Chain A
Amino acid sequence: MSAQLLITLPVLIPITGAVLCILAWRSTHAQRAINLTASLALLAAAILLVMRTSAGEIPTVRLGAWPAPVAINFIGDAFSAIMVLLNAIVAVAGALYALGATPKAHERSGYHPLMLSLIGACSGAFTTGDLFNLYVWFEVMLLSSFVLLSLGGSRPQLESAVKYVTLNLLSSFLFLSAIGLTYALVGTLNLAAIAERLAASEDRSLFTPVIGLLLVGFGIKGGLFPFFFWLPASYHTPSPVVSGVFAGLLTKVGVYAIIRTTQLFAPGWSIDGGVIAHALIWISGLTMVTGVLGAAVQQDMRRILSFHIVSQVGYMVMGLAIAGVAFDSAQAPGIDPAQRTALMGAGALALTGTVFYILHHIIVKANLFFVAGIVEQLEGTGELPRIGGLYKRRPLLAALFFIPAMSLSGIPILSGFWGKFILVRAGLESGADIIVAVSLAVSLATLFSMTKIWANVFWAPPPPASPNDTQRPTSPTIAPPTPARTACMYTACGAMALVTIAIGFGAGFAVDLAETAGAQLTDPTPYIQALLPTDAPTDIELTAGEVTP
């Protein structure tokens, strides 16, 4: 298959599926089949893409055969390919899980086309090589997620959707403003061209504000410390498959954008005395701590897990920030060459750890939300005081929760352990001891939260039935349980648990992948060359006009 076609497929397949679903909107059966088929096809394409990119190839396509700096483009380096693969895994698990969890009314309101366009937009965001196209994919993603969040239209859903829409629109407009300022600064929006012109430019006074504005925009979407409030207010309200896919993917699109733009736009991180890297260290620490403390006071499964998304995003940003600080110190004048090499190595290791952590986190987090959905389907609620004794009644479900929960807290051999291990080692090598200590403390608190859920939901005896609880509570956002539905949901959770175990035991393979991605992020020259070939016409004069006073 040609590289050009291959890099187009991750976007093309889900979008085609979404269009077919809209045309078949009268038949929910046809839509389910289309959703599952498209997700599986996406998985196949993503695996092919990862195989190509792990060998060092960077497939690129420019739509409409336009020349390099102006064309709409797709590009897949190892990092993008890994993200597309995770996207595809979540899509397949979600499509399977949705067979059992999504109420009929949601399917009739367009669940399947919306989910497919969400997946397609995430693929687009992961593979685009243009800042404005990133904005467009963000908006497609957000529009789909707005509607998915409010499917069903219960009061908590609509109220949380108002907050979600407001804050995410605000972040979009900040991002758009940053795009305008970037264009004013360098006169192009192609990521590679921006990187080249920023590196070549003399006057660097505006860099920090522009990159800061980008970080605020992405930070809102990623759920970073001062901006995360929309996340725990909304993620527990929609149907569990929707919150599972959101939990796995959406914030990570923001994190992806942060990593991609900072690595490309601030090469060496040394502008204004490394202020961005040091700010990110603080932000990541505060994100981790507030997230885990917020989770500690919650008494509902999905709410606890939502707060943990925030704290886990902190880990990813911590990896990036450690890399930033290491690259900044390596640029210091008069530094010993051996020490510089060591610092650059530590930075690359931190980026590897970040990629690995994202890889592990997306699978585990979506899995935990899916398991919480099964609990809610069985018990009618996710509130810890009102459920219990599931270990005796559903031992398989207990096992399905136990694996991702222990992986999330970083118990050895499971995937989360390796992620934290690499990050901690990189942090110690680059001298960021305090943040490493914070991350380890947060890890312990995560274990506490997971134990809390485990003890309450699975071990504690079921609460005595109170006299005014004459009937079992039912959740409006989940289809009532039947054996066939439960089987679909168990299969989806089981498959994801197997992926977690596979990442843990076969960590070598995953680390190799993450290492390729980390190396390409550390030195983005191949990415820039693939996106902006040297034979591209450079004389495209974009501002040939006469400036009016």
Chain B
Amino acid sequence: MTPLLALSTGVLFATGMYMLLRRSIVKILIGLVLMGHGANLLILTSAGILRGSPPLIPQGEERIADAHADPLPQALILTAIVISFAIVSFACVLVKRAYEIAGTDDTEAMRSSELPIGSDPGGADT
């Protein structure tokens, strides 16, 4: 199972990086989402995939007797998912506004904050 998950992590990072290098901001956003998934899967995989019962202490006992899954990576991933949910939903709004204002989704044309003042950033007429 672990090699398969490791491979999936690699594929997610690779595709995410490929999408990040595209020029369209929507594709960049998709790339970021994929890399986020890759990072979460990496945490799950690198913490060790275990076959065991849920990490709940039975009533009346002090600790878990038999094999159990490690709860910490799952808690970490859950938190990371919630955070990326918030950030990606903001990024969606941002990308949409940027598209509306700039009139393009091409990052090459979105350079008005970098070019010298007064030069035409282009793209607004497309």
Chain A–chain B contact at Cβ < 8 A: yes
Q: Given the complex, which residues of B lie within 8 Å of A174, measured CB to CB?
A: 39
- State in angstroms the CA–CA spacing of A543 and B68 once bound together: 8
| One of B43, B68, B86 near A176 (C-beta < 8 A) | B43
- Are the CB atoms of B117 and A165 closer together than 8 Å? no
- Closest chain-A Cβ to B63's Cβ sits at a distance in Å of 8
- Are the CB atoms of A237 and B113 closer together than 8 Å? yes
Any B CB within 8 A of the CB of A139: yes
- Are the CB atoms of B46 and A183 closer together than 8 Å? yes
Any B CB within 8 A of the CB of A51: no
- Are the CB atoms of A176 and B80 closer together than 8 Å? yes
- State in angstroms the CA–CA spacing of A184 and B73 once bound together: 10
- Are the CB atoms of A170 and B25 closer together than 8 Å? no
| One of A70, A155, A544 near B112 (C-beta < 8 A) | A155
Any B CB within 8 A of the CB of A507: no
- State in angstroms the CA–CA spacing of A136 and B80 once bound together: 8
| One of A184, A300, A547 near B46 (C-beta < 8 A) | A184
Any B CB within 8 A of the CB of A270: no
Residue interface mask B45-86, A partner, CB < 8 A = 1:
111111110000000000010011110110010011001001
- Are the CB atoms of A136 and B79 closer together than 8 Å? yes
Any B CB within 8 A of the CB of A158: yes
Q: Given the complex, which residues of A lie within 8 Å of B70, measured CB to CB?
A: 542-543, 545
| One of B47, B76, B102 near A158 (C-beta < 8 A) | B102
Q: Given the complex, which residues of B lie within 8 Å of A237, measured CB to CB?
A: 113
Any B CB within 8 A of the CB of A142: yes
- State in angstroms the CA–CA spacing of A135 and B80 once bound together: 9
- State in angstroms the CA–CA spacing of A547 and B73 once bound together: 15
- Closest chain-A Cβ to B77's Cβ sits at a distance in Å of 9
Q: Given the complex, which residues of A lie within 8 Å of B79, measured CB to CB?
A: 132, 136
- State in angstroms the CA–CA spacing of A136 and B39 once bound together: 15
Q: Which of A143-151, A362-370, A399-407, A427-435 is near enough to bind chain B?
A: A143-151
Q: Given the complex, which residues of B lie within 8 Å of A181, measured CB to CB?
A: 42, 46
By beta carbon, the residue of chain A nearest B99 is: A158
- Are the CB atoms of A158 and B98 closer together than 8 Å? yes
- Are the CB atoms of B46 and A173 closer together than 8 Å? no
- Are the CB atoms of B48 and A547 closer together than 8 Å? yes
| One of B38, B50, B76 near A173 (C-beta < 8 A) | B38
- Are the CB atoms of B35 and A233 closer together than 8 Å? no
- State in angstroms the CA–CA spacing of A343 and B102 once bound together: 55
- Are the CB atoms of B94 and A162 closer together than 8 Å? yes
- Are the CB atoms of A383 and B117 closer together than 8 Å? yes
- State in angstroms the CA–CA spacing of A546 and B98 once bound together: 50
Q: Give the interface SS of chain B, mostly helix, strand, loop or mixed.
A: helix
Q: Given the complex, which residues of A lie within 8 Å of B25, measured CB to CB?
A: 162
| One of B43, B44, B50, B95 near A547 (C-beta < 8 A) | B50
Q: Given the complex, which residues of B lie within 8 Å of A40, measured CB to CB?
A: none
- State in angstroms the CA–CA spacing of A165 and B116 once bound together: 22
- State in angstroms the CA–CA spacing of A159 and B110 once bound together: 6
Q: Given the complex, which residues of B lie within 8 Å of A546, measured CB to CB?
A: 50-52, 67
- Are the CB atoms of A139 and B87 closer together than 8 Å? yes
Residue interface mask B17-39, A partner, CB < 8 A = 1:
00010000100100010011011
Q: Given the complex, which residues of B lie within 8 Å of A169, measured CB to CB?
A: 32, 36, 87, 91
- Are the CB atoms of A179 and B50 closer together than 8 Å? no
- Closest chain-A Cβ to B57's Cβ sits at a distance in Å of 12
- Are the CB atoms of A165 and B91 closer together than 8 Å? yes
| One of A166, A180, A300, A545 near B51 (C-beta < 8 A) | A545
Any B CB within 8 A of the CB of A156: yes
Any B CB within 8 A of the CB of A299: yes
Q: Given the complex, which residues of A lie within 8 Å of B80, measured CB to CB?
A: 135, 176
Q: Given the complex, which residues of A lie within 8 Å of B35, measured CB to CB?
A: 170, 173
By beta carbon, the residue of chain A nearest B117 is: A383
**Within residues 331 to 388 of chain A, which ones have a CB less than 8 A from any CB in chain B?**
383
- Are the CB atoms of B98 and A162 closer together than 8 Å? yes
Any B CB within 8 A of the CB of A234: yes
Q: Given the complex, which residues of B lie within 8 Å of A155, measured CB to CB?
A: 101-102, 112, 121
Q: Which among B20, B101, B114 has the highest number of chain A CB atoms within 10 Å?
A: B114
| One of A143, A159, A179 near B98 (C-beta < 8 A) | A159
Any B CB within 8 A of the CB of A160: yes
Any B CB within 8 A of the CB of A67: no
- State in angstroms the CA–CA spacing of A232 and B116 once bound together: 12
- Are the CB atoms of B83 and A183 closer together than 8 Å? no
- Are the CB atoms of B32 and A170 closer together than 8 Å? yes
Any B CB within 8 A of the CB of A37: no
Any A CB within 8 A of the CB of B1: yes
- State in angstroms the CA–CA spacing of A180 and B51 once bound together: 19
- Are the CB atoms of B67 and A143 closer together than 8 Å? no
- Are the CB atoms of A159 and B102 closer together than 8 Å? yes
- Closest chain-A Cβ to B2's Cβ sits at a distance in Å of 8
- Are the CB atoms of B90 and A184 closer together than 8 Å? no
- State in angstroms the CA–CA spacing of A170 and B84 once bound together: 12
**Within residues 95 to 128 of chain A, which ones have a CB less than 8 A from any CB in chain B?**
none
Any B CB within 8 A of the CB of A161: yes
Q: Given the complex, which residues of B lie within 8 Å of A420, measured CB to CB?
A: none
- Are the CB atoms of B113 and A234 closer together than 8 Å? yes
- Are the CB atoms of A158 and B39 closer together than 8 Å? no
- State in angstroms the CA–CA spacing of A549 and B4 once bound together: 11
Known: A143-B86, A158-B97, A232-B114. 10 other contacts (CB 8 A): A70-B72, A136-B83, A155-B112, A159-B110, A162-B94, A162-B95, A173-B35, A179-B43, A544-B64, A548-B50
Q: Give 7 CB contacts A-B under 8 Å.
A: A132-B76, A153-B101, A169-B87, A176-B40, A176-B43, A180-B47, A233-B114
Hey, which bits of chain A sit against chain B, CB under 8 A? 70, 132, 135-136, 139, 142-143, 146-147, 150, 153-163, 165-166, 169-170, 173-174, 176-177, 179-181, 183-184, 189, 232-234, 236-237, 299-300, 383, 542-549
